[in-house]
Amino acid sequence: MTAPASATEAQARTLAGYDRASALRQVHDRDWVLGGIGGEPAVLFDLGCGIGQLLQEALERFPSLRLAVGLERSEHRIAEAGERLAAHGPRVRLHPADLTEPPALPERADVVTMTSVLHWLHPYEERIFAWIAGRLAPGGRFLLTTYHPARDGDGFGGEDEIVREALAALGIAPAAVPGLFATHGVLPIAVRTRTPGGLEELLSRHFTVDSGAERAARVSVADARQYEHFHAATFGDYYARLVAPERRAEFFTAVGESAWRRQRERGRVSDMPVRLWRLAPRTDG
Ligand SMILES: C[S@@+](CC[C@H](N)C(=O)[O-])C[C@H]1O[C@@H](n2cnc3c(N)ncnc32)[C@H](O)[C@@H]1O
């Protein structure tokens, strides 16, 4: 008989609890991004809009917005965004969409935002860059945030390291972990995020960089459970599939404990640069 899923496994499956989890990291970027929007935008697209938090703030901050469009792959998240934004009526349109195969949209946008999403589109980022460059109205801007954890020789960094420690607690030797990732088709997040230089090269095929700013994104937690919850809401079962279904509850617990150990030893769980890119479409072809 199959054991019933733990609360965290069920949460990871639907990416639930993002409202609370995002307070640890992603929420801190929202004002920063919206502060980069100049003038009085009429149409905004938010790509990978999650539960609609950025759209909500943008609608409140910019009365000039007559249309805010959210594209999102997760049906659970888009449903939550719909509830959150219902009060804005026809000013909002939400589309279920996979950004690696972007949909046809009739409008052009004054602003396109994409926050904490790009690494999930690897290695197909250029498809969405070309789409955005073609959908921006004259004078329009693309605001993008990207995280850049330091990488080791195996390409591991950021969350990969916390997962490697959790797997060690489950009896998997650290040296075996890169092979385990490869066997399960799990690309280290530190590879998915690309280096700032590599990303700039890719972006510059479609955009000129108006400005780029960088600051530290630090995550701290009050206990192991809080990080277990953050991991499930942010990474879903991306890493959990590295272990057999009957060990997944144990895996999520070990991730929380590994993060909590870091918190006690270093005063934080993680610390990495986050970049805000402000981009204009290239006009030279
Ligand atoms: C870390 S969350 C960021 C959500 C929101 N932008 C924020 O800053 O809080 C990443 C989001 O990207 C979405 N996503 C990942 N891959 C996607 C894809 N291929 N197409 C559309 N959405 C995607 C996920 O479902 C998730 O909601």
pLDDT digits (tens, 9 = 90+) for 188-200: 999 999 999 999 9
Residue with tokens 């998997």: 172
Do residues 214 and 130 both lie within one domain? Answer: yes
Give residue 48 CA to ligand 1 midpoint distance, Å. Answer: 4
Domain boundaries, position 201: 35-148+195-220+273-285
> 159 CB under 6 A from ligand 1?
no
- Residue 200 shares a structural domain with residue 280: yes
CATH number, domain with residue 61: 3.40.50.150
* Cβ–ligand 1 contact at 120 (below 6 Å): yes
State whether 59 and 164 are in the same domain.
no
Q: Quick one: pLDDT band at residue 2, thresholds 50, 70, 90?
A: low
Structure confidence at residue 218 as a pLDDT band (50, 70, 90): very high
Q: Tens digits of per-residue pLDDT, 244-259?
A: 999 999 999 999 999 9
| Per-residue confidence (pLDDT) for residue 19, from 0 to 100 | 78
Whole-number Cα distances in Å, 41 to 30, 110, 139, 271: 17, 6, 11, 33
CA distances for 243 relative to 180, 182, 222, angstroms:
9, 13, 27
> How high is the pLDDT of residue 268?
95
Q: Quick one: pLDDT band at residue 1, thresholds 50, 70, 90?
A: very low
Same domain, 186 and 211: no
Ligand 1 close to Cβ of residue 115 (< 6 A): yes
Total count of domains within the chain: 2
> Does the beta carbon of 56 lie inside 6 Å of ligand 1?
no
What tokens appear for 15 in the block?
A: 């990416």
- In a mutational test of the pocket of ligand 1, which residue from 19, 32, 117 has the highest number of ligand atoms less than 8 Å from its CB? 117
Tell me, yes or no, whether 115 and 68 share the same domain. Answer: yes
**Residue 3 — pLDDT band, cuts 50, 70, 90?**
low
Note whether 89 and 200 are same-domain residues: yes
Residues 134 and 229 both lie in one domain: no
- Give the tens place of pLDDT for each residue, 134-147: 999 999 999 999 99
| Per-residue pLDDT, 283 | 86
Is the CB of residue 26 below 6 angstroms from any atom belonging to ligand 1? yes
Mean pLDDT of 223-227: 95
User: Which atom of ligand 1 is found nearest the CA of 114?
Assistant: 6
Asked if 126 and 51 sit in the same domain, the reply is: yes
Q: What is the pLDDT of residue 212?
A: 79
Quick: pLDDT tens for 99-112.
999 999 999 999 99
Measured from the Cα of 99, ligand 1's closest atom is: 20
Per-residue model confidence (pLDDT) at position 4: 59
Distance between Cα 98 and ligand 1 center (Å)? 10
Q: Contact, 104 vs 77, CB < 8 A?
A: no
Indicate if 86 and 208 belong to the same structural domain.
yes
Alpha-carbon gap, residue 119 to 241, rounded angstroms? 18
User: Which residue owns the Cα nearest ligand 1 atom 25?
Assistant: 74
Residues 118 and 129 in one domain: yes
Are 255 and 285 members of one domain? no
* 261 has a pLDDT exceeding 70: yes
- Look at residue 285 in the predicted model and tell me its pLDDT: 60
Statement to judge: residues 142 and 155 lie in one domain: no
Residue-averaged pLDDT of the chain? 94
Mean pLDDT, range 174-203, rounded to an integer: 96
